[in-house]
Chain A
Amino acid sequence: MVRALEKYIRPGVKSTPFCPGCGHGILMGLILRAIDELKMDMKNMLFVSGIGCAAWIPSPHYDGDTLHTLHGRALAFATGAKLYNPDLCVMVVSGDGDLSSIGGNHLIHAARRNIDLKVICANNMIYGMTGGQVASTTPKGSKTSTTGEGNPYRPFVLCKLVEAAGATYVAKYSVTQPISLISSIKKALLHVGFSFIEVLSPCPTQFGRRNQIDRPEEMIQDLIRRCILKEEAERLTEEELEGRIITGEFLSCQG
Chain B
Amino acid sequence: MPSRWINSLYPKGMYYLSGNEASAEGALAAGCRFYAGYPITPSSELMERMAVRLRKVGGVFIQMEDEIASISAVIGASWAGAKAMTATSGPGFSLMQESIGYAAFTETPCVIVDVQRAGPCTGQATKVGSGDIMQAKWGSHGDYQVIVLSPWSVQEMYDLTLRAFNLSERYRVPALVMADEAVGHLRENMSIHTKVEVWDRKKEKGGSPFGTEEGDGVPPMPSFGEGERLAVTGSTHDAFGFRKTDDPEAHAKLVGRINEKILKNRSKIIETQDYFLEDSEIALIAYGFTARTSLYAVKRLRKEGVRVGMLRLKTLWPFPEEAVSEVGRRMKKVLVPEMNQGQVAGEVKKFCSCEVISLGQTNGEVIRPETILETLRRI
- The interface of chain A, by Cβ under 8 A from chain B, is 10, 12, 42-44, 46, 48, 59-60, 63-70, 73, 76-85, 87-88, 105-106, 109
The interface residues of chain B lying within 8 Å CB-to-CB of A65 are 224-225, 228-230, 232
Q: List 22 A-B contacts (CB under 8 A).
A: A42-B229, A43-B227, A65-B225, A65-B228, A66-B232, A67-B230, A68-B233, A68-B235, A69-B72, A70-B234, A73-B69, A76-B73, A77-B73, A79-B62, A79-B69, A80-B62, A80-B78, A80-B80, A84-B60, A84-B81, A85-B81, A85-B225
A196–B337 alpha-carbon span in the complex (Å): 54
Give the one of A48, A66, A76 with max B CB within 10 A: A76
B74 at the binding interface (Cβ < 8 Å): yes
Contact A66 B231 (CB under 8 A): yes
B47 at the binding interface (Cβ < 8 Å): no
If A70-B99, A85-B225 touch, does A80 touch B232 (CB 8 Å cutoff)? Answer: no
A24 → B minimal CB distance (Å): 16
The interface residues of chain A lying within 8 Å CB-to-CB of B76 are 48, 67, 76-82, 84
Could you list 6 further interchain pairs (A-B, Cβ under 8 angstroms) beyond the known A65-B224, A66-B232, A80-B75?
Answer: A44-B225, A59-B231, A59-B233, A81-B76, A84-B82, A88-B225
B241 at the binding interface (Cβ < 8 Å): yes
Contact A67 B229 (CB under 8 A): no
Question: What is the chain B residue whose CB lies nearest that of A113?
Answer: B62
A76–B80 alpha-carbon span in the complex (Å): 13
Contact A109 B99 (CB under 8 A): no
A67–B224 alpha-carbon span in the complex (Å): 9
A74–B66 alpha-carbon span in the complex (Å): 14
Mostly helix, strand, loop or mixed at chain B's interface? mixed
What are the 10 tightest A-B residue pairs by CB atom distance, in nearest-first order? A80-B76, A80-B73, A76-B72, A80-B77, A77-B76, A68-B233, A81-B76, A76-B69, A60-B231, A84-B77
- The interface of chain B, by Cβ under 8 A from chain A, is 33-34, 36, 60, 62, 64-66, 68-70, 72-82, 84, 98-99, 102, 223-225, 227-235, 240-243
**Residue from A68, A76, A82 within 8 A of B232 (CB atoms):** A68
The interface residues of chain B lying within 8 Å CB-to-CB of A12 are 240, 242
The interface residues of chain B lying within 8 Å CB-to-CB of A67 are 76, 79, 224, 230, 232
If A46-B224, A66-B230, A69-B234 touch, does A81 touch B77 (CB 8 Å cutoff)? Answer: yes
The interface residues of chain B lying within 8 Å CB-to-CB of A64 are 229
A73–B81 alpha-carbon span in the complex (Å): 19
**Residue from B33, B65, B99 within 8 A of A106 (CB atoms):** B65
Give the one of B73, B75, B99, B240 with max A CB within 10 A: B73
A80–B234 alpha-carbon span in the complex (Å): 17
A82 → B minimal CB distance (Å): 8
Contact B75 A77 (CB under 8 A): yes
If A68-B232, A69-B102, A81-B76 touch, does A60 touch B81 (CB 8 Å cutoff)? Answer: no
A103 → B minimal CB distance (Å): 10
**Residue from A42, A79, A85, A105 within 8 A of B73 (CB atoms):** A79
The interface residues of chain B lying within 8 Å CB-to-CB of A82 are 76, 80
**Residue from A44, A70, A80 within 8 A of B36 (CB atoms):** A80
